[in-house]
Chain A
């Protein structure tokens, strides 16, 4: 009795030699802390390198790093604060412009569209410069002088592109609501304002959250731009630390430390965004 093989011609099923690309990088695998691990290893390696290459007389690289870390962290917290304020202001203005973008009054709609496109397509840095240089440093209202410090101007400068992006997110969210919702609201004699407030926006908000969070992460990373216009943020302090210590071998660890802070803050936001996106994903 034959146990293996046959004399008959048999067409064996074809097996792909290697798995096809997409499944290999399935999204859930991305969840693993691999990125953070790679990052941490990189950081430790650079620190060790700095330790080795340091001049024998000086302090150890770790000591210097530990001395500056709290200060850099403070600068980083200031970045976060700016990002909160700019996001709040940008969201508020963006919501208004976004709703105006779907207005039935043509001039309002077109103006809102123009504003959105203009501020969305201008580089963040240029808008920041714009706000920094062209806003007055104080306002006089009825003999009352309201100081307008640089960081407030920076918040306004960063809020401009945020508002334009939020406006697009709002427009997209509203447009993504099936038109049947509008029609049934109309059938129930809701006015346009009521439909928007009570029916469309509550549904659209849910879908707007993931891109909104994404935008927040982008804004947080953009807050380092304020160091260019002379506001003391994390990046400025890192540079100051490097100048003060004048130890070139510390450059990589210190910059990596700052990058690590941003990464630790933005990475969870990115993860949460992806998770929410998957949950709200409505596939046709």
Chain B
């Protein structure tokens, strides 16, 4: 099967000059798949970290500490209202310069956090800021009578959150969360700017060597649309499974 595909694209290159090298050239394919892997890896970790950040942020924002609230507010507004690319540059070029380097085991010095690491940090912070707002909206949408009922049963704040507020709030904010996570997947292309070998970077390496810009651009575009489509599909299924019967239309 894979031989047939490879043969087909090789013939396409010879007859029509359409050079889809990723489909028949083993080296290009390996690079592309590595890029795909890096993108997925950044996505998965950043999604998990941003969800954790969102929960932590909304917990502090609802807490008693005034300073804590102020910090969360500042964090949310800062990351929501500045360009993610500049945030990434800020972390990768400016903040990284302040950190010490570590020995890489070969006698050289390497930075404490790699480009991929900074990409994950920057994207997690970026998406986390949106998640704080999304969770807040979800928590606010939990009917106050439900919260009061739980309070009157003597739940502590933590118990109230875990057993009553969060399960409901999570279901309410799932659609908004989906949008944000999809946005995060699309944002990962920015890692290209700091030379992280993700999908876009791998594609650009291939087209600068094989001179097949048009073909690779299309492959790249379709790959991303497929990636996002998979996420949309999975999250849509999940959303339907988690639906509160009779709560929304």
List the interface of chain A (C-beta within 8 A of B). Answer: 14, 16-22, 24-25, 29-30, 34-35, 37-39, 118, 121-127, 129-130, 133-134, 217, 220-225, 227-228, 235, 239, 242, 248, 251-252, 255-256, 258-259, 262-263, 266-267, 270
Contact = CB atoms under 8 A, between A and B. Distances in A.
B145 interface: no
A280 B182 CA distance: 27
B54 to A, nearest CB: 13
Contacts of B83: 220-224, 235, 259, 262
A248 to B, nearest CB: 5
Contact of B86 (A251, A252, A262): A262
A18 B157 contact: yes
B86 A126 contact: no
A39 B70 CA distance: 12
Interface string B74-104: 1011101111111101100111011000000
Interface string B157-195: 100110001000000000000000010011111101100
Given A35-B78, A126-B220, A262-B86, A22 B70 contact: no
Contacts of B221: 122, 126-127, 130
Nearest to B132: A25
Contacts, number: 166
Contacts of A134: 213-214, 217
Interface in B197-233: 200, 204, 213-214, 217, 220-221, 224-225, 228-229, 232
B136 A259 contact: no
Interface string B130-173: 00000010011010000100011010110011000100000000
A260 B68 CA distance: 22
A30 B136 CA distance: 12
Given A134-B213, A251-B94, A34 B74 contact: yes
Contacts of A17: 156-157
B117 interface: no
B94 to A, nearest CB: 4
B200 to A, nearest CB: 6
CB-based closest 8 A-B pairs: A21-B62, A35-B77, A38-B74, A251-B94, A221-B83, A123-B186, A121-B228, A266-B81
